[in-house]
Structure 1
Amino acid sequence: MELLDKCLALLKEKGADEGEVSLTHFQNEEMELKAGEISLLRSRDEYHLTLQAIVDKKKASIQINKIDDEAIAEAVTELLRNAENSQADEANEVSGQIQEREFSDFKDNYDPELMYKRLDRFREKAEADYPDLVLEGALLEYQNKFNYYRNTKGVKLSSNYDKYLFYASFFGRRDELTSSMNGTGIALENLEGDLYELASLPSLMREAVEHLDARLIDGKKFSGDILITPDSLSGLLYSILSHLGNSMLIAGTSYFKDKLNEKVLNEKFTLRTEPVSEYLAVKDYYGGDGIINRNDYIFEKGVLNNYLLDLYGSKKTGLERGPSTGSNLVVEAGDKSLPEMIASIDRGIILGRFSGGHPATNGDFSGVAKNSYYIEDGEIKYPIKETMISGNLFELFQNIVGISRERVNFGFNFFPYIHAREIVISSR
Structure 2
Amino acid sequence: MSTTIDTNLRDTARRAVDLAREHGATEASASAGRMREVEVQWRDGRLDKVSEATTRGLSLQLYVDGRYSSVSTSDLRPEALSRFIADSLSMTRALARDEHRRLPDAELYEGRASLDLVIEDPRQAELSAEERQRFARELEEGARAADTKGAILSVTTGFGDLFRESYRVTSNGFEGGSRSTQFVASAEVSVQDPDGRRPEESDSAFARFFEDLPAASALGRRAGERALGRIGSTKGESAVLPMAVDHKVSGRLVSMLLGSMSGASLQQKRSFLDGKLGEKVGSDWLDLTDEPHVKRGLGSRLFDGEGIASRTMPLFEQGVLRSYFIDSYYGRKLQWRPTTSSPSNLAWKLGPKARAGLLEDLREGILVTGFLGGNSSAVTGDFSLGVQGFRVRGGQLAEPISEMNISGNQLDLWKRLVAVGADPYPYSSARTPTLVFEGVQFAGR
Is TM-score (shorter-chain normalized) higher than 0.5? yes
* Letter of the 2:433 counterpart: P
| Aligned ranges 1:412-427 → 2 under 5 Å | 412-427=429-444
Separation of aligned partners in 2, 1:87 and 1:312: 16
1:407 aligns with one of 400, 414, 424:
424
Question: What secondary structure is seen at the aligned counterpart in 1 of 2:248?
Answer: helix
Partner of 1:184: 204
Task: State the Cα distance separating 1:147 from its structure 2 match.
Answer: 1.6
Contact 2:28–2:62, Cα closer than 8 Å, also in 1:
yes
Task: State the Cα distance separating 1:228 from its structure 2 match.
Answer: 1.3
Distance 1:406 1:271, change over 3 A: same
Partner of 2:384: 366
Give the paired residue count.
423
| Aligned ranges 1:26-425 → 2 under 5 Å | 26-38=35-47, 42-68=51-77, 72=81, 75-77=84-86, 79-95=88-104, 96-97=106-107, 105=118, 106-110=120-124, 111-112=127-128, 114-130=131-147, 131-134=150-153, 136-174=155-193, 176-191=196-211, 193-197=214-218, 203-217=222-236, 219=237, 221-278=238-295, 280-323=297-340, 325-345=342-362, 347-354=364-371, 355-370=373-388, 372-425=389-442
Separation of aligned partners in 1, 2:17 and 2:113: 18
Separation of aligned partners in 2, 1:264 and 1:101: 32
Contact 2:38–2:51, Cα closer than 8 Å, also in 1:
yes
Contact 2:291–2:311, Cα closer than 8 Å, also in 1:
yes
* Letter of the 1:333 counterpart: L
* Letter of the 2:30 counterpart: V
Deviation by residue 1:25-57 (Cα, 9 ceiling, x = unmatched): 212233332332246865321234321111122
Distance 1:395 1:51, change over 3 A: same
CA RMSD of aligned residues (A): 2.8
Task: State the Cα distance separating 1:102 from its structure 2 match.
Answer: 8.3
Task: State the Cα distance separating 1:92 from its structure 2 match.
Answer: 1.5
Identity %: 19
TM score, norm. by length of structure 1: 0.88
Deviation by residue 1:203-246 (Cα, 9 ceiling, x = unmatched): 443121121211121x3x22222111222222221111111112
Task: State the Cα distance separating 1:74 from its structure 2 match.
Answer: 6.3
Separation of aligned partners in 1, 2:369 and 2:413: 16
Contact 2:13–2:58, Cα closer than 8 Å, also in 1:
no
Contact 2:188–2:223, Cα closer than 8 Å, also in 1:
no
Deviation by residue 1:304-323 (Cα, 9 ceiling, x = unmatched): 22211122122222223225
* Letter of the 1:28 counterpart: E
Question: What secondary structure is seen at the aligned counterpart in 2 of 1:248?
Answer: helix
Separation of aligned partners in 2, 1:82 and 1:234: 41
TM score, norm. by length of structure 2: 0.85
Distance 1:411 1:341, change over 3 A: closer
Between 1:252-261 and 1:384-393, the stretch displaced more is 252-261
Distance 1:115 1:276, change over 3 A: farther
* Letter of the 1:357 counterpart: N
Q: Which runs of 5+ in 2 are unaligned?
A: 1-9
Between 1:45-54 and 1:153-162, the stretch displaced more is 45-54
Separation of aligned partners in 2, 1:361 and 1:161: 36
* Letter of the 2:27 counterpart: E
Partner of 1:9: 18
Distance 1:421 1:190, change over 3 A: same
Separation of aligned partners in 2, 1:367 and 1:81: 47
Task: State the Cα distance separating 1:261 from its structure 2 match.
Answer: 3.3
Task: State the Cα distance separating 1:296 from its structure 2 match.
Answer: 2.9
Task: State the Cα distance separating 1:374 from its structure 2 match.
Answer: 2.0
Distance 1:319 1:25, change over 3 A: same
Separation of aligned partners in 2, 1:103 and 1:68: 34
Partner of 2:7: none
Separation of aligned partners in 1, 2:62 and 2:329: 14
Q: Which runs of 5+ in 1 are unaligned?
A: none
Task: State the Cα distance separating 1:62 from its structure 2 match.
Answer: 2.2
Distance 1:231 1:338, change over 3 A: closer
Task: State the Cα distance separating 1:337 from its structure 2 match.
Answer: 3.3
* Letter of the 2:19 counterpart: L
Deviating above 6 A after TM superposition, structure 1's stretches of 4 or more consecutive aligned residues are 99-103
Separation of aligned partners in 1, 2:221 and 2:424: 14
Separation of aligned partners in 1, 2:278 and 2:334: 17
Separation of aligned partners in 2, 1:367 and 1:118: 34
